[in-house]
Structure 1
Amino acid sequence: MITVLEILVVILSLILIGVVVAQKSKTQGMGAGFGGGAEDLFGSRARGMDALLSKVTIVVSIAFAIVTLILGRLLNTF
């Protein structure tokens, strides 16, 4: 049981990392001052994809937290 939860934590963490990296930055950063913000004017990314990635991030992070707490309880580490 513990091994299954450990594997699940690793899988969820990799998914969470991938989803967060795939999301579009909410701030323009340094590139906006040099013309990097022009891609937003033409809709380079669909809004639906950003909304989906945001929802997936929330679901995966909640699942990661729950599995981590269960695993911690089973290992008696807190």
Structure 2
Amino acid sequence: MHTVLLSLLVIDAIALIIVVLLQSGKSAGLSGAISGGAETLFGKQKARGIDLVLHRITVVLAVLFFVLAIAVSYFGL
């Protein structure tokens, strides 16, 4: 059981890295980071198309990563 969970955790981690690297950057530099956060907060710029799909996949993979990490820790004892 531990080996299967650990294998799934490694596969999930690699997939999470790939999906994050495929996403496009919002803006460059410090001023871009501040304005990008404001646009996200106030909803001026909505994610569309592939960016939305990659964002949702990232959220699912991140949640799965945490669940698998806790399961590996629990069954590894």
Q: Same fold per TM (> 0.5)?
A: yes
| Distance across 1 between alignment mates of 2:48 and 2:18 | 19
Partner of 1:57: 58
**Whose radius of gyration is greater, 1 or 2?**
1
TM-score, normalised to structure 2's length? 0.73
In the TM superposition, structure 1's runs of 4+ consecutive aligned residues that sit over 3 Å from their partners are: none
2:6 is the alignment partner of 1:6: yes
Q: TM-score, normalised by structure 1?
A: 0.72
User: Between Structure 1 and Structure 2, how many residues are aligned?
Assistant: 62
Measure, in 2, the Cα distance between the counterparts of 1:75 and 1:4: 11
What's the counterpart of residue 25 of structure 2? 25
Identity of aligned residues (%): 37
| Unpaired segments ≥5 residues, structure 2 | 30-46
The 3-state SS of whatever aligns with 2:49 is: helix
Over aligned residues, Cα RMSD in angstroms? 1.9
